[in-house]
Amino acid sequence: MGNILIFGSFSIRDWDILRQRQQTIVEFLAQDFNVFYIERISAKNVGIIKTLKAVIKRFFLVRNAEKKGRFTLKQLYFVQLKIFPIQRGIFRLLNSKLALLQIRNVMKKYKINCFDSIIISHPANYVNDIFDKIPTKKNIYDCVQRFEFNEYFPSEVSFNDRNIAKKVDLVIADSITIFSEKKDLNKNVVRIPQGIDLKNYSKNRIDDAGIPDDLTEMGKQRICYIGSFHQSFDFDLMKKLAMDIPSATVVLIGNETTEAKEKLNCNNIIFLGWKHYTALPIYMHHMDLFVIPYLLTEHGKGVFPTKLFEYLFFKKPVVSTALPDILEYREYLYVTYTNEEFIEIVKDSLFNGRNKLAFIPQEKYDNFIQANSWESRYQQFRNYL
C-alpha cells in the first residue's frame, strides 16, 4: 500500500464542523493509501510550553484516527507537529527545521523512504519552506482559494500560494478563475470542482427522519442558504429579498456572525446556526428554494459554491448570482445579473412554480448528479496521484 502525506487545512478537532472537499477526499484516499494528515498549525493546538518540550525531547505525535472513535479508517493518521505558533522571523526558520525533523521521524517510524504523493491544501510558511525537501514521487497543490483577495490571510500566504503553484508537479483547482490564474504559473493544471457525497443523501434516511423541530413552526415558502457569511456574501441582497417577500421565511444555516446578525435583522430571516453535515439533507428536504447570494468581487470570482450540487439534488429551484463557476450549470439553475432579477425569479419560483429542474429528463438528471458526486471526483483525483 502506498503512502501519502497531506499538509491539511483542518485539525482533528474541527474535522466535522465544516464538512468540505478536503475531508471527503482524505477519507477516500485512506481506503487506498496510508494517509498521514498534518493538522493545520494554529494557536488552538500548539503552545510555547508544549513546543519547548517537543524541541528538547524531539517528540512527535502520530495518532491513528481509529483511536478517536469517530473514524473507522485504519490507514488515516493525524500528525500534530510541535512547532512555534509564531510563524515569522527567526521562528519561521526554527519551525521549518522542527517540522522537517518531525516528518522525517514519521517516515523512519513507518519505514517510508519516499511518499507516493505529497498534497498541499494550505500554503503556510513552513509548508512553503519544506515541501520540496521531503522525498516524494509527486508534489500536488489542491488550491480552492484566491488567497490574494481573501481578507483573512496575511500577504505571505499569497506569496506562498504562488511559489508553491510554480514548484509543484501538478496544481488542482476547483474554480475556473483559479484554474486560469494557475495556468500562468504552471503548465500542469487541472480542474476538479466541488461535489456531492451521495452516501450522505440517502433518500430513505431523509424521508424517514421527519421534519426537524426547529422548522415545525415555520410556514411554507422557505428560502434557504447554507454556508458561511464570508466577505463575498451579499447581505444587502438577502435583506432586500426578505423584505420584498414578507410571506416567505429566509432560513440561514451556518455559523452565525455578529455582522450577519446586525445586517440581517429582519422579522422573516431565521438563523438556525451550525448543523452537522449528516443533518443538512434532512433540513434541505423541507426547503422550497435555495439561493447562492455572492458578490462578484475578486474574492467571489474564485468561489465555487460547495453546496451547489447538494441544492440541485432536491430538484427544487436554485437561484444564484452570476459567479463564473455557476455559468456552466445554467441549464439546471437560474443565473441572475442584478438584484432585481434575482428577487423576481425567486418570487416567480415560489408563487408560480418556476423550476428549470422540472424539465430535465430523469435519466439525464441522474447522470448529472452521479457525474458530480464525490465518488466521481475522487476517481479523477486518484488518476493524478
pLDDT at position 180 is 97
- Work out the mean pLDDT of the chain and round it to a whole number: 91
Question: Which pairs with CB-CB distance under 8 Å and at least 24 residues apart come from 119-122?
Answer: 119/4, 119/5, 119/6, 119/7, 120/6, 120/7, 120/164, 120/168, 121/6, 121/7, 121/8, 121/9, 121/22, 122/7, 122/8, 122/9, 122/40
Euclidean distance between the first and the last CA atom of the chain, given in angstroms as a whole number: 13
Predicted pLDDT at 73: 67
- Report pLDDT for 64: 59
For the stretch 46-78, pLDDT in tens is 445 554 554 444 344 455 555 544 455 689 999
Condensed to tens digits (0 to 9), the pLDDT of residues 15-56 reads 877 788 999 999 999 999 999 999 987 544 444 555 455 444
Q: Which segments of the chain belong to CATH 3.40.50.2000?
A: 2-196+375-383, 199-371
CATH fold for domain 2-196+375-383: Rossmann fold (3.40.50)
Q: What is the pTM of this model?
A: 0.90
199-371 has CATH 3.40.50.2300 classification: no
Distances (CA, A) of 43 to 6, 56, 98, 160, 327: 20, 20, 17, 20, 39
Q: Mind listing the pLDDT tens digit for each residue in 89-130?
A: 898 999 999 999 999 999 999 999 999 999 999 999 999 999
